[in-house]
Amino acid sequence: MIVDAEAAVGEVIWRLDPALRTQTNIARFTGALGDRGIELGDRYEDLWRWSVDEPKRFWSEWADFAGVKMGGTAGPVRSDDAMPDTRWFAGRQLNYARELLAAHEGTAIVALTESGERSEVTFAELRDDVAAFAAHLRAHGVGAGDRVVGILPNIPEAVIALLATASIGAVWSVCAPEFGPGAIVSRFAQLEPVVLIAVPGYELGGTDRHRETELTEVLTGLPSVEHVVWVTGHTSARPIDSVPDSCDWADAVRVVAEPDFADVDFDHPLWVLFSSGTTGIPKGIVHGHGGALLEQLKLCSIHDDIRPGDRVLTIASTSWVVWNGLVAALGVGSTIVLLDGNPTYPDLDRVWQVAADEKVSVLGVGAGFVHACAKSGLEPAREHDLSDLRVITVTGSSLSADGYRWVYRAVGDVWLTSQSGGTDIASIFVGGVPTLPVRVGYIQAPALGVRVESWGADGEPAPGRGELVVTAPLPSMPLRFWGDPENLRYRESYFSTFPGVWRHGDFIEFSPQGIVIHGRSDSTLNRNGIRLGSADIYAAVEGLPQIAEAMIVGAERGTEYYMPLFVALAPGADADDARAAVRAAIRSNLSPRYLPDDIVVMPGIPHTKTGKKLEVPVKRMLQGSPLEDVVDRGAVDDPALLDRYAAFAREKAAAPGTDR
């Protein structure tokens, strides 16, 4: 039930009707624990505390509750080695794909193209296609540990290829087709893949985009590829004729085969997910079958409250770990809705139209999408029947207080859960619990099994804002980075600041109201010794009607500290009015000491392909680094936009000025 759609920051805006509590997955899990003699009551804090104080018992009980079947020889649930050398369920075997597919019936996938074409795949058909494509891979010599890669959009073939690859113990990786050839090669060349599955073109923004030139460049950069499977059913583009050993997807799944899932070790490599790649060679993050399975089922079931028969729509490209989480929702018996192309084409309302048409129960979106809907004045509940919508999950960046209020004002009586996690663990650190109240501007709680804390620079717990650290191992922490056999880069990335403790690189704050993520600590603003997370600036500025989006950076340039705020204006906004509104908002919501040196109007804000603002690359350009040294153009959403930022950085270096 809704409490107050105009609630102040920190006030309760929604809480679950007590009569519905027993329907939640977390209530079912707590009840199952009680049946096994673990009486924890109804307080989430007590359940979470038990999960981190008794991790071996928790993860064992969770695996049983989730129905995960493990073979092999039973041994310790967790070794006593310190991170990152901890091992989980040593001696046990399973298969990620089998666990997602084995016991479910009904519709598995609903697929929608940008132009509106619709198709369905049942669980039975999905099992058949996975078996057929796995047999095709085996026939081309693919075995356990070999790498299979895809250049694929959000279509059923991407799901089938992932699960077929996993079913034989091979290692999967995927890039969205809009990535530039350099960005694709910089990722996949590290893996030396033997099979590539690719679309020769894709639909985006109302245009059928052909990629023959780009794919020729990619194949030249991947000499290890021995076989190519072309997925041609979603584009008018045709395969590259010069590829000698290739076939069409329809031929690859034509032969009927029996399901055959290889039993692999709990920590057998499942996939390689890549970091954003905005600086240096993208890190290839390797996760294992068991760790990814347990964590993602926990995320879907407990922290998203996805139930059997639910329809789940997540707005994500195949290159974002959120897409992997969408696929994992198959494992709880839900139907996943794949929305290909630009989900907001021709406008933002498309997402809500699809949610209504497909009777979506759980909708996953980025915070930027919610903010854009609020600024545009959308009222989805007025235009659409959203009576089936029960949950909205938000990730990607911090959700503003206005974002919370808009959801409850314009969408209705839903559980809104803001989350924060990462590609690094293929899950979340903090997120939602349906039985807890939702407070404006706050994430509800730490995730089960995650001992997440706030630490100061001295390595001691911080009473307020501090570094997000995890002080005990998780099953889905990376097995390693690809090409990092001594774990040197892995240790440097997470464990160099606090030995034996995972430092994630975000600022976090715990309070009685909940949790706030204050942005990346590696892009911290530090003017005259005063540290500020960029998220605080965005919370003050991006709610203004004149501002579509903003990005702030702080750059040390010799003895000077330069802190510009880049803004993209809302349609029709006046630049001078926008600057005045920004200054007033920062003065009133933060402090005059946080006023930027310049407020720079730009045509847009640059992001990675997964929506992260390019704060650090722009900072480095302002410090004198050339554009080509700080970012891979193929890894960003608008490469031409970066030229504007590079030009600004050069102008600033030549003749520092004020507002432009």
pLDDT tens digits, 42-57: 999 999 999 999 999 9
The residue among 523 and 218 whose pLDDT is bigger is 218
Check: CB of residue 392 under 8 Å from CB of residue 415.
Answer: yes
Instruction: For residue 659, name the pLDDT band (cuts at 50, 70, 90).
Output: very low
Domains identified in the chain and CATH numbers: 1-517 (3.40.50.12780), 524-654 (3.30.300.30)
Check: CB of residue 208 under 8 Å from CB of residue 215.
Answer: no
pLDDT tens digits, 541-581: 988 999 999 999 988 776 678 899 999 999 999 999 999 99
Check: CB of residue 562 under 8 Å from CB of residue 554.
Answer: yes
Q: Over 80: is that where the pLDDT of 511 sits? A: yes
Q: Over 80: is that where the pLDDT of 610 sits? A: no
> What DSSP state is assigned to residue 461?
B
Q: What would the two tokens of residue 377 be? A: 């004045």
Instruction: For residue 657, name the pLDDT band (cuts at 50, 70, 90).
Output: very low
Check: CB of residue 607 under 8 Å from CB of residue 636.
Answer: yes
Going by C-beta distance under 8 Å and a sequence separation of 6 or more, which residues neighbour residue 625? none
Tell me the residue ranges of DSSP E strands in 487-563: 502-511, 514-520, 525-527, 530-532, 547-552, 555-557, 560-562
Residue 529 pLDDT: 56
Amino acid present at 561: Y
Q: Indicate the angle between helix axes 55-65 and 289-298, nearest 10 degrees.
A: 80
- Least trusted range by pLDDT, from 231-245, 327-341, 595-609: 231-245
pLDDT tens digits, 407-433: 999 999 999 999 999 899 999 999 999
Check: CB of residue 464 under 8 Å from CB of residue 509.
Answer: yes
For 371-413, the three-class secondary structure string (H helix, E strand, C coil) is HHHHHHCCCHHHHCCCCCCCEEEEECCCCCHHHHHHHHHHHCC
Task: Count the neighbouring beta carbons within 10 Å of the beta carbon of residue 245.
Answer: 10
Going by C-beta distance under 8 Å and a sequence separation of 6 or more, which residues neighbour residue 462? 454, 455, 456
Q: Over 70: is that where the pLDDT of 533 sits? A: no
CA distance 68 to 74: 14
The SS3 call for residue 150 is strand
pLDDT tens digits, 216-274: 999 999 999 999 999 998 888 888 887 889 999 999 999 999 999 999 999 999 999 99
How far, CA to CA in Å, does 533 sit from each of 522, 525, 601, 621? Answer: 10, 6, 21, 20
How far, CA to CA in Å, does 250 sit from each of 135, 136, 233, 255, 403? Answer: 14, 11, 9, 10, 44
Q: What is the pTM of this model?
A: 0.86
CA distance 264 to 266: 6
DSSP string covering 439-452, please? ETT-B-EEPTT--E
What is the average per-residue pLDDT within 288-300? Answer: 98
Backbone φ, ψ for residue 557 (5° rounding):
-130, 90
Nearest alpha-carbon partner for 329 in 155, 100, 163 = 100
CA distance 287 to 272: 7
Select the highest-mean-pLDDT range: 378-387, 511-520, 637-646: 378-387
Longest dimension (CA), the chain: 72
As beta bridge partners, residue 562 has 555
Residue 375 pLDDT: 87
The enclosing H or E element of 355 equals helix 349-357
Going by C-beta distance under 8 Å and a sequence separation of 6 or more, which residues neighbour residue 428? 299, 303, 395, 419, 420, 421, 447, 450
Please return the burial class of 273, using the count of CB atoms within 10 Å of its CB with bins 0-12, 13-18 and 19+.
Answer: buried
Q: What would the two tokens of residue 506 be? A: 């975000």
Select the highest-mean-pLDDT range: 410-419, 458-467, 645-654: 410-419
Nearest alpha-carbon partner for 237 in 261, 286, 269, 203 = 203
Backbone φ, ψ for residue 594 (5° rounding):
-100, 5
For 269-309, the three-class secondary structure string (H helix, E strand, C coil) is EEEEEECCCCCCCCCEEEEEHHHHHHHHHHHHHHHCCCCCC
Both ends of the chain: CA-CA distance in Å? 47
CA distance 275 to 482: 12
Instruction: For residue 630, name the pLDDT band (cuts at 50, 70, 90).
Output: confident
pLDDT tens digits, 87-123: 999 999 999 999 999 889 999 999 999 988 999 999 9
CA distance 85 to 167: 26
Alpha-carbon Rg for the chain, nearest whole angstrom, is 24
Backbone φ, ψ for residue 33 (5° rounding):
-65, -40
Q: Over 90: is that where the pLDDT of 277 sits? A: no
> What DSSP state is assigned to residue 608?
B
How far, CA to CA in Å, does 227 sit from each of 93, 106, 247, 248, 260? Answer: 29, 33, 8, 11, 22
Check: CB of residue 153 under 8 Å from CB of residue 179.
Answer: no
Residue 2 pLDDT: 67
Nearest alpha-carbon partner for 265 in 91, 86, 147, 97 = 91
Nearest alpha-carbon partner for 421 in 325, 348, 315, 544 = 325
Q: The tokens 């020729």 sit on which residue?
A: 216
Nearest alpha-carbon partner for 549 in 638, 465, 631, 633 = 638
CA distance 119 to 390: 24
- Least trusted range by pLDDT, from 117-131, 424-438, 480-494, 613-627: 613-627
Tallying the residues shown for the chain, one arrives at 660
The SS3 call for residue 223 is coil
CA distance 444 to 434: 9
Q: What would the two tokens of residue 373 be? A: 């809907």
